[in-house]
Structure 1
């Protein structure tokens, strides 16, 4: 398969490398910044451009791998006479944004991608959508060459997956940061809580999360909760988060 990648960041880099490892040919990289296009093009051994009028028209797949905010403008300025399938890899962007093209769809990996960290796509359940049944099945077949866990889902389902990913990834990470700062304030190392982070993550791999919930809220231990709140009385934002999350845990007892 001949593939054009539009974008030069984390997702574009990982997808480009993964496609090449599967034997596909990256035939062009586009980025609005020529230096970025050339850098990824050099790594993937193909031409790069910052001029959408020079976009190849006869590739099999056009992967849009830019920020969600950049997708609408890029789509509107792309040539419409593209023969291949145009896809984006966003979790929160509706597939309909691509409907100016004849064939289009979505290949979304619910995973945080960083250039400097190797990603094993075989462990990621890609979420696939297509403009019609044939396109959807073609994209699912492609996604399953990355991961056998890939599934078909509509835009609403994909948004639910994206929001869930934000909660378990981004929201949990800011809680880790709160803990880091609290420990640092008391001359303690974050290493002290790294084991319990791993323990919790391992438990939810095989259980419904609420069934392995622990701590003072699920036990109804008001005394300990009040000690915690008094301890962080100089941190009203953290107090509010603590109370809100504790309330949600208590509701599910």
Structure 2
């Protein structure tokens, strides 16, 4: 399959490397940053371009691996007469944004990727959606060559998945940051929490989250909760976060 890769960031890098490794031909890599376009194109034995007017219009697949806010802008600059499939890789962007094209869809990996880190693409789920049955089937087969965890996922489901991923990943990491700040303020190492972090992550591989929930809220230990609230009283934001999460755990326990 001949591919044009629009973007040179994290997802573009890993998808480009994966498709290239599978024997697909990445014709071009587009980036407005010439250095980035050249760097990724060199890695993929491809041609760098910095203007969409120079884009090859004979490719089989056009991958918009750009930031969510840039998808509409880039898509609007592509010829609507393209015969190849145009896809984006966003979890929060509806497929209808690409409806001006004949064939279009989404290949979405709910995974944080960094271009300079190794990623096991074959272990990452890919949510797939197409504008019709034929396009959907083709994109699903293509995604299944990347990972056995490719699955069909419409725009509403994809938004749910993206939202859930923010809770599970981004918000959790923000809580790690609060924990780090609390510990360092009292001359303690964040390393002290790494065993319990790993233990919880391992437990939810085989159990539902509510089955392994621990802590004073699930035990109804209000005396300890009150001590924590007093401890956090000098930081109203952390206090509010603690209160809201405690309420959520209590609500879940009682439901």
- The interval holding the TM-score normalised by the smaller chain is over 0.9
1:58-73 equivalences under 5 Å are 58-73=58-73
Task: Tell me the residue number matched to 1:90.
Answer: 90
Aligned length: 253
Task: Tell me the residue number matched to 1:166.
Answer: 166
3-state DSSP of counterpart to 1:117: coil
Structure 2 stretches lacking a partner, 5+ long: none
TM-score normalised per structure 2: 0.97
The answer to whether the 8 A contact 1:52-1:79 is kept is no
Deviations 1:107-156 (A, max 9, x none): 00000011121111111111000010110010000101111111101100
The answer to whether the 8 A contact 1:4-1:59 is kept is yes
Offset of 1:42 from its aligned partner? 1.5
Offset of 1:88 from its aligned partner? 0.4
Task: Tell me the residue number matched to 1:16.
Answer: 16
CA distance in structure 2 between the aligned counterparts of 1:188 and 1:76, rounded to whole angstroms: 52
CA distance in structure 1 between the aligned counterparts of 2:116 and 2:243, rounded to whole angstroms: 37
TM-score normalised per structure 1: 0.98
CA distance in structure 1 between the aligned counterparts of 2:73 and 2:42, rounded to whole angstroms: 26
Structure 1 stretches lacking a partner, 5+ long: none
Runs of 4+ in 1 over 2 A off after TM superposition: none
1:133-172 equivalences under 5 Å are 133-172=133-172
Offset of 1:35 from its aligned partner? 2.2
RMSD value over aligned CA atoms?
0.8
CA distance in structure 2 between the aligned counterparts of 1:236 and 1:55, rounded to whole angstroms: 52
CA distance in structure 2 between the aligned counterparts of 1:60 and 1:232, rounded to whole angstroms: 56
CA distance in structure 2 between the aligned counterparts of 1:134 and 1:217, rounded to whole angstroms: 50
1:137-216 equivalences under 5 Å are 137-216=137-216
Offset of 1:160 from its aligned partner? 0.4
CA distance in structure 1 between the aligned counterparts of 2:30 and 2:79, rounded to whole angstroms: 13
Offset of 1:79 from its aligned partner? 2.0
